[in-house]
Amino acid sequence: MSVSTRPGLSQRFGRVRVAATVAMSIKARALREAGHDVVTFAIGEPDFATPPHAIEAAHQAALRGDTKYPPQDGTRALKAAIQRQFQRDHGLDYALDEIMVSSGAKQVLFNALMATVDEGDEVVIPVPCWAAYTLMTKLVGGTPVHVSCPQNNRFRLRPEDLEAAITPRTKWLMLNYPNNPTGAVASPAELAGLAEVLLRHPQVWVMADDMYEHLYYSDERYATLAEVEPRLRDRTLTVSGVSKTYAMTGWRIGFAGGPKDLIRAMVSMQGTSAAGVSTIGQAAAVGALDGPQELVAERAAIYRRRRDFVVDALNTCPGIACHRPEGAFYVFPNIAGCLGKTTAGGRLLQTDEDFALALLEEHHVALVQGAAFGMSPYLRISYATDDASLAKGMERIAAFTRGLR
């Protein structure tokens, strides 16, 4: 070992990267601190407030002294509320020992992968995808296997592509609908097509990351895999949380339902890495899950209106073609028509990252390049922001694209 007064970082650590979304936010903040009026579409966070009944539940919990170590798998009250939600939304019956609570859905995924993935195990990840899937897979020594979901299939995974990606080393398939970054949602019929493939490969576990499930702009209700194909229930982890549905990102409450042996392993992992989840946050989550749900539909209607505004505005920009997605609060426009051109500020746009950086520098709009999600040349725009900022940002993007030569 070398003699050094700098930290010798582990090899596994070399696999960890700062997410591009974070890097873009840091750049945007620097510009803002320098006095610029920056509009940001880079962050995947609702602009709404935590529902009042969740706040009241947190308040009551603090007053009654609910401030001691919680059980490592979550409080009984929250697990029971989650059990009711799985039943109410999906007709899924999970026993209390098939449910766990984590510090955000991110920790649910981390626990599951840490608890199950050995060196060289493969994780099938449809792309574009949330970068965390790939980074976490590498962190735990697994091999990410990316499967492209092109725009001409509305960014959804095709059964034949899934079939081709599965090998004897495949441990997990990550499914994320409504999808970050594309907003794509797979219908029950499409999920059934994937399920048919999965039934032929009993070694494959499925992570159904349903974080955005209540942000679905359709007359239908979102259906999750274990509900569509009950025969997959015993190897599916159904993941959700309160961050997106109830605008409670800061509280850090995610949860999952799954087979008991998997949940037990995940609890063991969590017990060793961080132990339980904030009791006050858990109490607030009970308030949100058990309280009136009208707010969810009201907010979804607002998001839907914003989506339509953004898609229409982007489609008037020269060189941009924007697909109209079914859910989440993202759009994922194609910018192939802008590449090879030069901005008014004299920057040559060769990649989507060039586009994102030039837009930020010249027009102070922060968004994230598609490359950060594994597909180029695209942009991810989060429309979880107020109407005035959306209007201002869209005007700036239009001005930017009109200035391209």
Residue 87 interacting with other proteins (CB under 8 A): no
Residue 118 interacting with other proteins (CB under 8 A): yes
The residue among 266 and 311 lying less far from other proteins, judged by its C-beta, is 266
Residue 277 interacting with other proteins (CB under 8 A): yes
In this structure, what token pair is assigned to residue 372?
């950060």
- Tell which positions 280-319 bind other proteins, by CB under 8 A: 280-281, 284
The residue among 3 and 297 lying less far from other proteins, judged by its C-beta, is 3
Cβ–Cβ < 8 Å for 387, 370: no
Q: Could you tell me the strand order of the sheet in which 143-148 lies? A: 99-102, 254-257, 236-241, 205-209, 170-176, 122-127, 143-148
Cβ–Cβ < 8 Å for 320, 401: yes
What does the radius of gyration of the chain's CA atoms come to, in whole angstroms? 21
Half-sphere exposure of 373 (CA within 13 A, CB side): 32
Q: How far is the CB of 129 from other proteins (least distance, A)?
A: 14
Cα 88 from chain centroid (whole Å):
22
- Tell which positions 31-70 bind other proteins, by CB under 8 A: 43, 45, 49-50, 55, 58-59, 62-63, 65-70
DSSP structure class, residue 287? H
- Tell which positions 148-187 bind other proteins, by CB under 8 A: 168-169, 171
Binds other proteins by CB under 8 A, chosen from 87, 167, 272, 350:
272
The residue among 124 and 149 lying less far from other proteins, judged by its C-beta, is 124
Residues sharing a CB contact under 8 Å with residue 285, sequence separation 6 or more, in sequence order = 54, 78, 81, 101, 242, 248, 251, 253
Binds other proteins by CB under 8 A, chosen from 232, 269, 285, 295:
269
- Which residue stretch of 131-139, 224-232, 355-363, 396-404 sits at the interface with other proteins (rule: CB under 8 A)? 131-139
User: What ranges make up the beta strands (E) of 99-162?
Assistant: 99-102, 122-127, 143-148
The residue among 10 and 152 lying less far from other proteins, judged by its C-beta, is 10
Binds other proteins by CB under 8 A, chosen from 40, 83, 103, 182:
103
Query: Alpha-carbon distance 223 to 226, whole Å?
Result: 9
Q: How far is the CB of 335 from other proteins (least distance, A)?
A: 27
Binds other proteins by CB under 8 A, chosen from 12, 76, 221, 402:
12
In this structure, what token pair is assigned to residue 322?
């924007």
Query: Alpha-carbon distance 163 to 201, whole Å?
Result: 9
Q: How far is the CB of 243 from other proteins (least distance, A)?
A: 9
Residue 268 interacting with other proteins (CB under 8 A): yes
The residue among 110 and 155 lying less far from other proteins, judged by its C-beta, is 110
Cα 258 from chain centroid (whole Å):
19
Residue 379 interacting with other proteins (CB under 8 A): no
Q: How far is the CB of 209 from other proteins (least distance, A)?
A: 15
- Tell which positions 240-259 bind other proteins, by CB under 8 A: 247-252
Binds other proteins by CB under 8 A, chosen from 20, 82, 114, 360:
114
Residues sharing a CB contact under 8 Å with residue 319, sequence separation 6 or more, in sequence order = 335, 336, 337, 338, 341, 401, 404
Residue 30 interacting with other proteins (CB under 8 A): no
Binds other proteins by CB under 8 A, chosen from 274, 300, 321, 339:
274
Distances in whole angstroms, Cα of residue 122 to Cα of each of 16, 142, 286: 17, 6, 36
- Which residue stretch of 1-9, 178-186, 294-302, 363-371 sits at the interface with other proteins (rule: CB under 8 A)? 1-9
Residue 199 interacting with other proteins (CB under 8 A): no
Cα 377 from chain centroid (whole Å):
20
The residue among 287 and 319 lying less far from other proteins, judged by its C-beta, is 287
Residue 77 interacting with other proteins (CB under 8 A): no
Residue 135 interacting with other proteins (CB under 8 A): yes
Cβ–Cβ < 8 Å for 220, 90: no
